[in-house]
Structure formats: structure tokens, C-alpha cells
A and B are shown apart, each in its own frame.
Chain A
């Protein structure tokens, strides 16, 4: 019993736990050594390759001959607005969803980690859930998956809920986001109770779960320029973080975090009872923290020049809770903040990654960082000022310098727009890497 549980226990209890691996569910088995693969959930694009959404597998073990190569690409048939993905707690399956079609694709990543296969497709998400639209975060719970929604079937706005499934893909229950008129027992602590949703993270040691808030289908499927020029559309963004009772899934408190708080990353240290989020519209870092036996939110730092709309997107916390990588999509920058004092993050360094940058995933030891470019099909830039436009990039970080190692141009390779990354490894499943590394045999 020692290893799996050791991981879970360490993740929950040790103040020294190393941590995208740093951003995963604490219930999940972690890769603490060298990852073998990065699975890239990729948007299909008209005129690019087979034009379908696909799971692209990149070999990333520098000790193997296929380092930096695409070793498999599994198309799922059509375009779904491929967006986020997440493993089950046993890490045998990867759930990847489409924000537009509401399909959830469940990939088997354990039978052959170099060549995932499509195990099951959930295509009744909206009907089963009672009208939740836009499956976003797939978050591992013990034996279950919790899927956050972005929107709803009634008006395609931002009011939404979370949907729970068994690991086998059977629907369990829908949890509606608390909102004015339907707080469901939650306390509204400020001006807002919008009922919007986006990300979810858990702090089991405090029996707490947190959700953030973005915008509905009407906006995320709209052309970016058209949306930003529409005051009505811009008024429909989330302004809340909700604190939940993790065990009962009951909402406890609605906190004001104005400006569309997106990714949530919680500290790992056993005494560090706080999480960070960043606001897309106001370009701020916010701290959600426990004090006086209650939960609160406050702005703790600015990210770049908010007047230039840098648009913070993905963030990644280091395993020792000392640093936070913050990507800003619009200027293509990644910034490293020192968060040793979570109340006063300070900028350490900043790097240009490409024309646009969205996701960042770091290894357990923080020495390898992976970046992808795409945000949403109708928001992504289509013309470059000379920088890479749609890419997967590998960097190393030695504690001082972020150094570029490799780029895969997803347009040149006719793959599409690369979005979220998740790590894979043979050793997760008691397997050894084959003597002859897998080579790409074309689209499958």
C-alpha cells in the first residue's frame, strides 16, 4: 500500500511535498520523477490537417531517442471547442471535454501510455445534468470526477453548476452554483452572487473546495473583438469565488473577486491554508485565505499593466509554495512571482514565450516547464508579429533562468491549436519503456 497512499498522504500532509503536477488534484497519484509524455488536448481548426480535435502525445523524456517528437495523435471526429482535461484519481483515464458540443472524451492512457485510445464518450452531459453547458475542469475525487460547467442551456449565459460522475463515466449528481435568489445555504459576503463557474480545487485538510467564475457560452464562443466592443457582453463575466464544504459539496460562502477569476491553485504546505487565483479582466493576483475560522479574499498583486489588458490565464504554483508562474495570453509573457509571503507576491522575472501563451505545466521538481498557446478558437490570434503563434514549447528552469529547449509548431505539423497539457509515464502503471521508442505513424 505504500506508494500510492504515500503520494496522497504526502500531498496532503507534508510541508515539504514537491508538487503540473503541482496543480493536480491532491487525490491523484503524482509523477515525481521524469515524465515520459505530455498529452496535449488540441483544437481542430478549419484548413489545418484533418480539422478535428485531437489528443496529441509528445515524448518528453530527454533520455529517449524520440525526445520532443509527436508520437501519437488521436482525432475524435469533429470540432468540439477542445479545452481542458484531467485524470481520474488512479490516473488510468484522461477526461477531455469540449466547451461547445458538451462532449466529454475519456481516453485510456494506461494500456499504452505512448498511444492513448478513446475509451468512452459522454454525449448526454447537458440532459443528465439538468442543463449545465460547457464542461470545463475535470477534477479527480476518490473514485469520481467533478466537472465544472461554464454555462447553461436556458440562456447560454454564465450561470451554471458542477456535475459529478463515477470514474466509469456514470452520472451522479449536479451541484448548482449559488446565486442571488438561490444561494443554497451559502452566505453572500459582498456585492456578488452570480452563479458563474470555471475552475475547482480542493483543500482536503480544511474540508474546503473552491470554485471560480468566467463567462458563458454566449461570450466564449463569440469573436474576441466583437465581444470586447460590446458593453453588454463585457458585463457578463464572473466576479466570485465560492467556498464549499468539500465532503458534503454544499456551498458555504460567496466571495467577491471581481474581474473573472480563472485558475485556482492551492498551497501544498500543511499549514498553508490558502489558494491563489488571477483575474482575467483586471490583471490581478488574489489570495483566498483562512483567518478567524472563516474564508476571505483579497487582492495581493498586479500582473503587468492592466490598462494593456495582458489577460492572465494559466498559473502554476511550485511544490514548496514559494513561487507562482503566471501566464498572460495577450502579450505572450510568463512571469514568475515570489509568493513566500502570500500576502505580498513580488515579481522575480518575466519571459516572452510567444505571440500568445495560455497554459503552463511544470514538473514535480519545477525543473521542466511546458507551454502551449491556444485560448479559445474564436479568441486566438491568427496573425503573428514575428513570434510563434500556435506551439508546444519545452523549457528548463534552474532556479535562476528559464531556458528554451524545444518547440513544436502545431500549425506546421498540421495538428491544430494546442491547449491543455497533462503528463504521462510508463512507471505509473508498472510498465517499462520499450527498447525501441514509438515513432509517429500519422493521424489516427
Chain B
């Protein structure tokens, strides 16, 4: 992935330039979705726990926050400048947040969590300001989180297969940017991961459709498939 950095490293902001095509999540979806509940979101494994600190500075844990609600968990860092990276994730979650707030089917069932992996810079105060940018300051249905220690962060990232690389210059000094694959996790009320989104499917329409689908179809235990023959 740092090969990618080599290729684009000379012009990282090029990726944020207007010439860069915007991810699908910024615009209307270019195709029709099947009706909610007409397809499956099979469980992908248990969503791990870990200690976190919210933007008010209060200590809690991921499982405490999940609290039998459907959760969208996004990994971000606030200084990310790639328009199709963390800003995309927060943009899409903002749209989902607004739609859930106006949907009586979902308002009490769904929450959003945005967890920073830049704990040195993303203090609770910084996260609070970031929440303001996305109209989510002090909103119980969208929390912005950091972690109490580096080992705690590393364990959460490892458990969610969210690997990061802190970018460095030729001298090996950190330059502030962090490389990672964009991932947003859809977690059901039983803490089972039901979908993992990357750029191409991180769209408000898809997220809402999937939320409605897993709300209608509680997870079935994973078992061996039966033969088709």
C-alpha cells in the first residue's frame, strides 16, 4: 500500500483536487436497489469490544455503546484530507444520521460511531469540533470516539482488521497522514458484523436499505451449507 504512497506521495493533495472523481456516496446512486429484506446480509463475525473515550471525555466501551442497537462503526481521523476517504465516510454517515432521525422505524434502533485512529491529535475536544462540522455535536445517536491508550487502539484496529500505516518522509519522520483501507462496519443488535463497506458501496441509500434488511431479518447462525444437488 505504500507503493501507492510512492506513486501518489509526491502529490497527496492531488487526490483531493477537484479533478478527482468523487466517490458514489456523494451523489445519487446510479442503479436500483432491491427491496429491503429481499436479500441476505449473513453474519461476518462478532464485533469486538474495547475501551473508548467519547467527545465529552467520558470513558466507556464499544460494547456498552452498542447496547443492543444497530450500529454503523466508522474508522477515521479528523485531519484526513482525501475527499474520497474519511470525509466521504463522515459525509455519508451525516446523510444516514439525518434520515434515521426522521424515520420512526429506525430512530430508536440505530446509532453511528466514528472512532479515530489518530489518538495523539484527535482529542475529545478535537472530536467535538469535528462533530460540529457534521451537525452531530452532543447527539446521542452519533458519537465520536478516541481510545485511552495506544495498546487499546491497536487491539481494536487488529480485531476489526483495520490496519494503518503512519506515513513518513524519506528521513523516516512522520508526516501526519495515515494510510488505510476505508471501512465502515454494519453491526446488528446482537453485535454481529453484517456488512463491511468500502468506497464503492458507501452510499446512504445502500446503508439505509441494509439497515432495514437486517432489522427485518435477524441473523441466523452460520452453519454448513446444504447441497444444491
Q: In the complex, what distance in Å separates the CA atom of A42 from the CA atom of B201?
A: 35
Contacts A/B (CB < 8 Å), 26 sampled? A1-B180, A2-B8, A3-B9, A4-B180, A5-B180, A6-B82, A8-B181, A9-B82, A9-B199, A26-B200, A33-B6, A90-B161, A90-B181, A92-B163, A130-B226, A131-B225, A131-B227, A144-B44, A152-B227, A153-B229, A164-B42, A168-B45, A172-B42, A248-B40, A425-B3, A429-B1
Stretch from B16-24, B121-129, B134-142 forming part of the interface with A: B16-24
Q: Which of A1-41 contact B (CB under 8 A)?
A: 1-10, 12-15, 26-27, 29-35
On whether the beta carbons of B85 and A2 are closer than 8 Å, the reply is yes
- Tell me if A7 and B6 are in contact (CB < 8 A): no
- Smallest CB-CB separation from A167: which chain B residue? B161
**How many residues of B sit at the interface, in one of the four size bands?**
35 or more
Instruction: Answer yes or no: B49 CB below 8 A from chain A CBs.
Output: no
Contact yes or no, A427 B5, CB < 8 A: yes
Does A207 sit within 8 A of B, measured CB to CB? yes
CB distance from A11 to the nearest CB of B (A): 9
Is the Cβ of A3 less than 8 Å from the Cβ of B23?
no
CB contacts (< 8 Å) of B2 on chain A: these are 3, 425-431
Interface residues in B10-40 (C-beta closer than 8 Å to A): 12, 15-16, 20-24, 30-31, 33-34, 38-40
Interface size for A (C-beta < 8 A) is 70
Asked whether A207 and B31 contact (CB < 8 A) given A5-B82, A176-B228, the answer is yes
Per-position contact with B for A403-434: 1 when CB-CB < 8 Å, else 0? 00000000000000000000001111111000
How far is the CB of A175 from the nearest CB of chain B, in Å? Answer: 9
Is A212 an interface residue, CB under 8 A from the partner? no
| Interface presence of A348 (CB below 8 A) | no
Whether A2 and B179, one on each chain, are in contact in the complex, defined by CB atoms closer than 8 angstroms, is yes
Residues B200 and A130 in contact, CB atoms below 8 Å apart: no
Contact between B200 and A204 (Cβ–Cβ < 8 Å)? yes
Chain A residues contacting B31 (CB-CB under 8 Å) are 206-207
A190 interfacial contact with B, CB 8 Å: no
CB-CB under 8 A from B22, the residues of chain A are: 13
Judge if A143 is at the interface, Cβ distance under 8 Å: yes
Across-interface contacts of A5 in B (CB, < 8 A)? 82, 84-85, 88, 180-182, 198-199
Residues on the B chain within 8 Å of A123, using CB: none
Residues of B within 8 A of A174 (CB): 225, 228
Q: Are A245 and B34 in contact (CB under 8 A)?
A: yes
Does the CB pair A14–B21 fall under 8 Å?
A: yes
Asked whether any CB of chain A lies closer than 8 Å to the CB of B191, the reply is no
A173 within 8 A of B: yes
Which of A66-74, A154-162, A258-266 lies at the binding interface? Answer: A154-162
Which of A3, A31, A168 interacts with B167 by CB under 8 Å? A3
| Residue contact B4 to A6, C-beta cutoff 8 Å | yes
Contact B40 A173 (CB under 8 A): yes
Q: Determine if A4 and B30 form an interchain contact, defined as CB atoms under 8 angstroms apart.
A: no
**B39 near A248 (CB under 8 angstroms)?**
yes
> Are B85 and A6 closer than 8 Å at their CB atoms?
yes
A15 cross-chain contacts in B, Cβ below 8 A: 21
Residues of chain A within 8 A (CB-CB) of B217 are none
Known A-B contacts A9-B23, A27-B200, A171-B222; A155 and B229 likewise in contact (beta carbons under 8 Å)? yes
